[in-house]
Structure 1
Amino acid sequence: MKLLLTLIAVLIIAALIGLSVMGMMSKSGGAPGLISGKLSQCPESPNCVCTEFQIDTDHYLPPATYNSNEISTVRKQVRAAINASGGELLRERDNYFVATYTSGTFGFVDDLEVRIEQDTKQIHIRSASRVGYSDLGANRERASKLKSLLGGV
């Protein structure tokens, strides 16, 4: 019984160390950026969501839409939504935004990218983990929350 408890304790400690190391690893890197004017497609892992590629049903989320004719109003709303959802805006250029979100427990860093498409009046979102495989739905939840904060722009 004592050996079993020791083994369980060692496994728990190893898992916590592994998660801490992954959290530190996620601090390097960054958002992939635009490719041919669009957000990057998600990798095969389930820790990413993107509104650009409807054909990728595992990672797809419909884009947000807006009605305003003033793009400055839409940009302001995107900045406010990122801030309200706990993101740190790192970069803004024209109609493209990059932000990061950091988890509390192990400090995992996720990247969020937003692209405003003026022709279709859509706001495209990509949210992805930098490390690991599963995110327990955190990126889908974040993108959905951002969409709801942008509703009615």
Structure 2
Amino acid sequence: MFKRTLKLTLSTLLSFIVSLSLPPGLVAQAAPSPGFSNPGLPLASLFNFSGTRPDNLGVTSGELAPCPSSPNCVSSQSSDPDHQIAPFPINESPTAAIQRLQEILQQQDNAEIISAEPNYLYGEFTSRIMGFVDDVEFWADPDNNVIQVRSASRLGESDLGVNRQRIETIRSEFASPSS
């Protein structure tokens, strides 16, 4: 009885604290995740700042969506040095490269694959504590024999370099002979 009351009180307190620091439009999205108040579920994140899935993802005319002006996005197709990141070179068929990337993402605790096609892979990464969601895309560009990449936060201004670091970590695993 005491543990259940304590969890409910802590959950309510955290919701209240977060709601004080957020703009009114985000308060509804800042509710604690179900795993926080249900002891039978693993704790994925304390909060759920998932935002709304963008409707401009995917490949259009050979391009991934451009990065917004905020510094929380990287793209191999950006010409802006703040957002630019190198694509992944491939030495195999585009389909095999995307399949290897899918296997790498499946190994990540905080990744969920949303769409996997022979030449395109889209996943969502959720931060452990706050539940922020980042959209990550990989496209096998047949004209340049590379994987074009884009990783962007849905909410906020700064990501403290998380998207760039994520892509570089995946690049390292992708380039590894054992992957």
TM category, shorter: 0.7 to 0.9
Shift of 1:152: 5.3
C-alpha change, 1:15 and 1:122, in structure 2 (3 Å) is same
The answer to whether residue 77 in structure 2 is matched with residue 40 in structure 1 is no
C-alpha change, 1:152 and 1:133, in structure 2 (3 Å) is same
C-alpha change, 1:106 and 1:77, in structure 2 (3 Å) is same
Measure, in 1, the Cα distance between the counterparts of 2:169 and 2:107.
10
Aligned partner of 2:75 in structure 1 is: 50
Secondary structure of 1:112 counterpart = strand
Q: C-alpha deviations, 1:65-121, integer Å up to 9, x for none? A: 0112x3332122111122234421110223111100001111111100110112321
Q: In structure 1, what residue type is equivalent to 2:82?
A: D
Aligned partner of 1:18 in structure 2 is: 22
Question: CA RMSD, aligned part only?
Answer: 2.5
Measure, in 2, the Cα distance between the counterparts of 1:149 and 1:89.
17
Shift of 1:148: 1.2
Corresponding pairs, count: 140
Gaps of 5+ in 1: 1-12
Aligned partner of 2:138 in structure 1 is: 114
C-alpha change, 1:143 and 1:16, in structure 2 (3 Å) is farther
The answer to whether residue 68 in structure 2 is matched with residue 64 in structure 1 is no
Aligned partner of 1:73 in structure 2 is: 96
Pick which of 75-84 and 126-135 moved more.
75-84
Gaps of 5+ in 2: 1-16, 31-47
Aligned partner of 1:84 in structure 2 is: 107
Pick which of 72-81 and 39-48 moved more.
72-81
Greater relative CO, 1 or 2 (CA 8 Å, sep 6+): 1
1:31 and 1:98 in contact (8 A); partners too: no
Among 153, 159, 165, the residue aligned to 1:141 = 165
Shift of 1:26: 2.4
Q: C-alpha deviations, 1:30-85, integer Å up to 9, x for none? A: 362223221111011000000012x21110011110112x3332122111122234
TM-score if structure 2 supplies the norm length?
0.68
Question: What percentage of residue pairs aligned between the two structures are identical?
Answer: 33
Q: In structure 2, what residue type is equivalent to 1:134?
A: S
Measure, in 2, the Cα distance between the counterparts of 1:31 and 1:78.
23
Aligned partner of 1:99 in structure 2 is: 123
TM-score if structure 1 supplies the norm length?
0.79
